[in-house]
Amino acid sequence: MNSLRQAAILAVGSELLTPSRVDTNSLFITEQLNLLGVDVAFKVIVGDDRGGLAHLFSTAFERVDLVVCSGGLGPTDDDVTREVVAEVLNRSLAEDESITARIRARFASRGMKMPEINRRQAMVPEGAIVLENPRGTAPGLWIEHADRLVLLLPGPPRELKPILSELVRGRLSARAGEAALVRKVIRITGRTESHTEEAVQPLYLEWARREVPVSATILAALGQIELHLSAKAGARDTAERAIDRAAEEVQRVLGLDVYSTDGRQLEEVLGDLLTRKGLHIAVAESCTGGLITSRLTDVPGSSRYVDQSVVAYSNEAKVALLNVARELIDEHGAVSDPVALAMADGIRSRSSADVGVGVTGIAGPSGGTAEKPVGTVVVAVVTADLSRSRVFRFVGEREQVKFQASQAGLDMVRRLLLEP
């Protein structure tokens, strides 16, 4: 078999050809293949259509060492990947009874009987290796053919990801040889894309000239900027050293605005910080509607630092739940520094947490005024010794304002806890 250099990704599913769905599996697949130094030459998205899939699969199979297909392994009539690939490769399909038994057991464990159509998922092309799918009924399939490799993976990301990660750690890495393409994402808050670019640009030229060159792409995401670094070298170590050095250089230039260089999201970074300092946090949320606490509790082990939070959406709730003085709201408006600070104080004393956060704002689309337009959000953070509040003006739809407000809330706590 060839050593793997170039791959193609085929996403199968008619729903991926509608105006509202993008194929995101291919991003994860690309990331994983890059880890092994395998480049993605092209991607194809095709419907549940035998003729089209056969044609495009053949096209892909001709040009690359590795074809990764996702989707179309379900139990229904429009799941055609298994059959089409077997046909193109001229292999017969046969039921693998051990797979059927596993699917049956899976249904039984939830007190259900396996529908007969699920037996289609146990059909295996001659000579294929079955890749166990601990999270779903359709196993993955590994097919070696004419010096090339074909992988069929189930479409749901939560099923696909563990199967592929496992392969990349094991069976695939053995095939891929030593070269490695290494990437690192640097996550940044408190700067615009162009201000980040301005600060970092002098580094680009230097990186390009190094023995192991590092290339960078800058990306504006919601509530943060991402700098994607990549380096390719003969050995993984070498590429990793080049990337680590570049990441350190970025951190030196951007300081505290860099919140993570190791893939962690802001809520994880803050969670680690709270854990390390042994602090508890409680949040009084108005316009974010619970999103900040939901993000905090997305992190495993967050019960170490979260006991409670309150969503005080109406003014009455701010008074009743958080002891905010009614006159404060009347005088300054619900979206104001004094009210945000009173909310943070209120939740902090109610919960006995070390850190109290208050967030109030206008998420839109209505409710804005000339003085406080839609997108105006006030965040306050209070500890035993310190208190901060800040007014933000976010741009975007309601959900985008909410997310940016949650990002600002988490980030203000992070910065406060890092103050000397």
Residues 376-405 binding a copy of itself (CB under 8 A) are 393, 395-400, 402
Which residue, 18 or 90, is less far from a copy of itself as judged by CB?
Answer: 18
Which residue, 189 or 293, is less far from a copy of itself as judged by CB?
Answer: 293
In whole angstroms, how close is the CB of 44 to a copy of itself at the nearest point? 5
**Candidate residues 44, 99, 179, 343; the one interacting with a copy of itself per rule CB under 8 A:** 44
**By CB under 8 A, is residue 317 in contact with a copy of itself?**
yes
**By CB under 8 A, is residue 351 in contact with a copy of itself?**
yes
Taking the C-alpha atoms of residue 145 and residue 416, their distance in angstroms, rounded to an integer, is: 58
**By CB under 8 A, is residue 158 in contact with a copy of itself?**
yes
Taking the C-alpha atoms of residue 354 and residue 365, their distance in angstroms, rounded to an integer, is: 34
Size of the site for a copy of itself (CB under 8 A): 101
Which residues between 46 and 75 bind a copy of itself (CB under 8 A)? 46-49, 52, 55-56, 59, 63, 74-75
**What does each C-alpha distance from 181 to 38, 67, 236, 259, 385 come to in angstroms?**
8, 19, 7, 24, 47
| Strand 129-131 to 140-145 pairing | antiparallel
Burial profile 255-276: b = 16 or more Cβ within 10 angstroms, e = fewer: eebbbbbeebbbbbbbbeebee
Element (H, E) at 346: helix 337-351
For a copy of itself, which stretch binds (CB under 8 A), given 43-51, 91-99, 269-277, 383-391?
43-51
**By CB under 8 A, is residue 42 in contact with a copy of itself?**
yes
**By CB under 8 A, is residue 289 in contact with a copy of itself?**
yes
- Which residue, 140, 102, 99, 142, is CA-closest to 122? 99
**Candidate residues 296, 335, 344, 355; the one interacting with a copy of itself per rule CB under 8 A:** 296
Which residue, 15 or 144, is less far from a copy of itself as judged by CB?
Answer: 15
DSSP state of 69: E
In whole angstroms, how close is the CB of 118 to a copy of itself at the nearest point? 6
**By CB under 8 A, is residue 182 in contact with a copy of itself?**
no
Which residues between 94 and 123 bind a copy of itself (CB under 8 A)? 110, 112, 115, 117-118
Biggest CA–CA distance in the chain, Å, is 79
> What is the CB neighbour count within 10 angstroms for residue 244?
15
In whole angstroms, how close is the CB of 215 to a copy of itself at the nearest point? 8
In whole angstroms, how close is the CB of 110 to a copy of itself at the nearest point? 7
Burial grade of 87 (CB within 10 A; 0-12, 13-18, 19 or more): middle
Which residue, 91 or 325, is less far from a copy of itself as judged by CB?
Answer: 325
- Which residue, 110, 34, 96, 98, is CA-closest to 68? 34
For a copy of itself, which stretch binds (CB under 8 A), given 23-31, 92-100, 169-177, 325-333?
23-31
In whole angstroms, how close is the CB of 114 to a copy of itself at the nearest point? 9
Non-local (6+) Cβ contacts of 223 within 8 A are 189, 403, 404, 406, 407, 408
**Candidate residues 189, 288, 360, 376; the one interacting with a copy of itself per rule CB under 8 A:** 288
Which residues between 213 and 272 bind a copy of itself (CB under 8 A)? 217-220, 226, 228, 230
**Candidate residues 4, 34, 164, 354; the one interacting with a copy of itself per rule CB under 8 A:** 34
Taking the C-alpha atoms of residue 50 and residue 72, their distance in angstroms, rounded to an integer, is: 11
Which residue, 10 or 128, is less far from a copy of itself as judged by CB?
Answer: 10
**By CB under 8 A, is residue 333 in contact with a copy of itself?**
no
Which residue, 91 or 311, is less far from a copy of itself as judged by CB?
Answer: 311
**Candidate residues 285, 345, 354, 411; the one interacting with a copy of itself per rule CB under 8 A:** 285
Non-local (6+) Cβ contacts of 14 within 8 A are 47, 48, 49, 78
Which residue, 348 or 402, is less far from a copy of itself as judged by CB?
Answer: 402
Cite the beta strand spans of 96-233 per DSSP E: 123-125, 129-131, 140-145, 148-153, 180-188, 215-221, 224-233
Q: Give the three-state DSSP class for 71.
A: coil
For a copy of itself, which stretch binds (CB under 8 A), given 141-149, 246-254, 282-290, 408-416?
282-290
**Long-range contact list for 59-63, CB < 8 A, 24+ apart?**
60/8, 60/10, 61/88, 61/148, 61/150, 63/6, 63/8
Amino acid at the residue 356: G
In whole angstroms, how close is the CB of 27 to a copy of itself at the nearest point? 5
